[in-house]
């Protein structure tokens, strides 16, 4: 039987690219997201291309009961859990912040990750094997102005990745994260700016990472021999050296 990977936020962006990467290597998939129609399109694409087994679960990761109800439908062991679902909303000084944006980021980026880890990890402990890979960010390594709550949620992902590893390593479970900088081929910027395409056009003057670049890093982590745990990959495009250091002199690598 093929190994099985569960990917949250798999309808677009890094989650979708990661689904394609694992499918190409023969993994069976359980894909979750809110957009059921989009998940079905992805499912059909991957089955047609690779002949693997793909299960889709449509729910809102911010709600624990929805997570529990969805996971209860899974009938096979999860070998790899990829906590990918996450978002940024707004770009405001702390004294001007939108509380609704704060709640959505905290509920998705932190609580959603916790809910899924709590639901999936007991089976891994029972089997004494498994791998949990969290999507962090350069925003979990260094803050930037007006990034306040988003950065806080990604600093939380970094801390949780280390803490989950400390709790599970004696059970033979690997825990890792990938922390990318700017990434295109995603809906990240459009979601952050409420689908304002002008504000979201932030990659016209430099080459960031692509979603596939990040997916390949995630697959690399998951495909190491069982005795190897790549704990963290921090990655940025060549034209980015930090959260506040981006060479915007043109797209040099197209």
Alpha-carbon span 215 to 19, nearest angstrom: 8
pLDDT at site 200: 73
The total number of structural domains in the chain stands at: 1
In this structure, the strands spanning 28-33 and 4-7 are: parallel
Q: Does residue 92 form part of some domain?
A: yes
Q: Does residue 190 form part of some domain?
A: yes
Q: Report pTM.
A: 0.96
Q: Does residue 76 form part of some domain?
A: yes
Closest CA to 137 of 209, 190, 33: 209
Q: Does residue 226 form part of some domain?
A: yes
Question: Does the active-site annotation cover 150?
Answer: yes
Segments forming the whole domain that contains residue 68: 4-246
CATH number for 96: 3.40.50.720
- Tens of pLDDT, residue by residue, the chain (254 residues): 899 999 999 999 999 999 999 999 999 999 999 999 999 999 999 999 999 999 999 999 999 999 999 999 999 999 999 999 999 999 999 999 999 999 999 999 999 999 999 999 999 999 999 999 999 999 999 999 999 999 999 999 999 999 999 999 999 999 999 999 999 988 777 788 777 778 778 999 999 999 999 999 999 999 999 999 999 999 999 999 999 999 999 999 99
Q: Does residue 251 form part of some domain?
A: no
Q: Length of the chain, please?
A: 254
pLDDT at site 140: 98
pLDDT at site 187: 78
Q: Does residue 102 form part of some domain?
A: yes
> CB neighbours (10 Å) of residue 198?
6
Active-site entry in 150, 203, 219, 253: 150
Q: Does residue 253 form part of some domain?
A: no
Strands (DSSP E) contained in 10-128 are 28-33, 54-58, 80-83
Alpha-carbon span 196 to 204, nearest angstrom: 15
Q: Does residue 28 form part of some domain?
A: yes
pLDDT at site 186: 86
Cβ-Cβ contacts under 8 Å for 33 (sequence gap 6 or more): 8, 9, 10, 11, 12, 15, 39, 58, 85
């Amino acid at each position: 039987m093929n190994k099985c990977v569960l990917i949250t936020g798999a309808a677009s962006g890094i989650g979708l690219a990661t689904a394609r990467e694992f499918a190409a290597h023969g993994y069976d998939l359980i894909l979750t997201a809110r957009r059921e129609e989009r998940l079905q399109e992805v499912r059909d694409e991957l089955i047609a291309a690779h002949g693997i087994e793909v299960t889709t679960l449509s729910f809102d990761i911010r709600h624990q009961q929805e997570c529990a109800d969805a996971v209860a439908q899974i009938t096979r062991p999860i070998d790899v859990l990829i906590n990918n679902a996450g978002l940024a909303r707004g770009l405001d000084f702390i004294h001007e912040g939108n509380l609704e944006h704060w709640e959505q980021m905290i509920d998705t980026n932190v609580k959603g990750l916790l809910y899924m880890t709590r639901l999936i990890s007991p089976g891994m402990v029972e089997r004494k094997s498994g791998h949990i890979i969290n999507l962090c960010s350069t925003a979990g390594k260094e803050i930037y102005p007006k990034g306040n709550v988003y950065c806080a949620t990604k600093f939380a992902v970094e801390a949780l990745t280390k803490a989950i590893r400390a709790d599970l390593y004696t059970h033979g479970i690997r825990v890792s994260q990938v922390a990318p900088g700017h990434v295109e081929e995603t809906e990240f910027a459009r979601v952050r700016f409420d689908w304002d395409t002008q504000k979201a056009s932030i990659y016209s003057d430099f080459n960031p990472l692509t979603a596939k670049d990040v997916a390949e890093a995630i697959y690399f982590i998951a495909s190491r021999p069982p005795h190897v745990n790549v704990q963290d990959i921090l990655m940025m495009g060549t034209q980015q050296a930090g959260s506040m250091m981006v060479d915007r002199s043109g797209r040099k690598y197209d």
